[in-house]
Structure 1
């Protein structure tokens, strides 16, 4: 069939077969090789572009410091309003700097190559941050865990004031009361 097609295309109607000529056999071998290569070449996997999560610590220590400072300042301001507390200072200990989870686009590719009797499998994975309006897409942000609170107050000598300060701090920060320590200020009241 190929022989007849080529003879008609070239306008040669002679009886010389294409398969008998050197040029014809070379053309046939090339066509067969291209066909085999197309059959054996592994398909490239399509990238998986569904967003997944990547957890990363908050950007810097300054974020932890500013959060910690803000919590301490707000808590001291509120606790100093409790009757009998007097001047209040607060120190908070945080477990970590928090955690931000960003969306990512993951692409996994797998290629299988067979050469001779040997099979080689190549796998590659790419993870890129998903970006929206030039900024990474933030999925969730977890605040750092509060390990403990130290409150130093002028009126902490009074057991009732001490209990009120402990209850207020544990309620405001949503921590158990055993993580709150209230101490009297030196030379207070």
Structure 2
């Protein structure tokens, strides 16, 4: 029994306990660092499997611009016209789309009448207007409530087509672009392709 007590005292000596605590602290730090490393690695893999992710920025990067959408649809329909052949289309806009969010306005007015000791009166009017954007919560997170979206105005269109050497095909392409985009003729140019 005495031998056990001596061995126990040796094991619990300050030097042994200090060494044990240092080893334990290093092991805990190693686990924390490796856990962060593997957690970052798994979140990257999750985003690769789900390309939409959880952020609005990623969704905007993946969507096509208004110009690209209009150009692609216009190109597709113009290429279907008899004699047009292969077509390239370029559309420019004055500005990007404008989004009008819903605004919550709180207005408060206060009128105070003060009288001083000499019999004079003073009226103090104060007005406070507070506005904030109305936020909705959906699957993608919190977003502003949009009242309307104003599409950008077309500034100009260039069409380059194989069949534009033929005046009749050129005229049909010209009229089709004016009609579909509802723009005046001076904003549309049709050229033959090389």
Q: Normalising TM by the smaller chain, what interval?
A: 0.5 to 0.7
Mapping for residues 106-125 of structure 1, pairs under 5 Å: 106-115=105-114, 116=116, 117-125=121-129
CA 1:172–1:63 in structure 2 vs 1: closer, same or farther (change >3 Å)?
A: farther
CA 1:97–1:111 in structure 2 vs 1: closer, same or farther (change >3 Å)?
A: same
1:65 is displaced (CA, Å) by: 6.7
Work out whether 1:165 is the aligned partner of 2:173.
yes
Distance 1:68 1:98 in 2: 10
* RMSD over aligned Cα atoms: 2.6
1:58-88 deviation line (CA, Å, top 9, x unaligned): x9x9799711011111111111121221211
1:112 is displaced (CA, Å) by: 2.7
Question: What SS does structure 2 have at the residue aligned with 1:82?
Answer: coil
Q: How many residues align?
A: 127
Distance 2:61 2:169 in 1: 34
Q: Which one of 168, 182, 188 corresponds to residue 174 of structure 1?
A: 182
Give the TM-score normalised by structure 1.
0.59
1:33 corresponding residue in structure 2: none
Distance 1:167 1:177 in 2: 8
1:93 corresponding residue in structure 2: 92
Work out whether 1:156 is the aligned partner of 2:164.
yes
Question: What SS does structure 2 have at the residue aligned with 1:156?
Answer: helix
CA 1:96–1:63 in structure 2 vs 1: closer, same or farther (change >3 Å)?
A: farther
Question: What SS does structure 2 have at the residue aligned with 1:96?
Answer: coil
Distance 2:165 2:95 in 1: 32
Mapping for residues 54-65 of structure 1, pairs under 5 Å: none
Q: Choose between structure 1 and 2: higher helix proportion.
A: 2
Q: Which one of 132, 138, 154 corresponds to residue 136 of structure 2?
A: 132
Question: What SS does structure 1 have at the residue aligned with 2:163?
Answer: coil
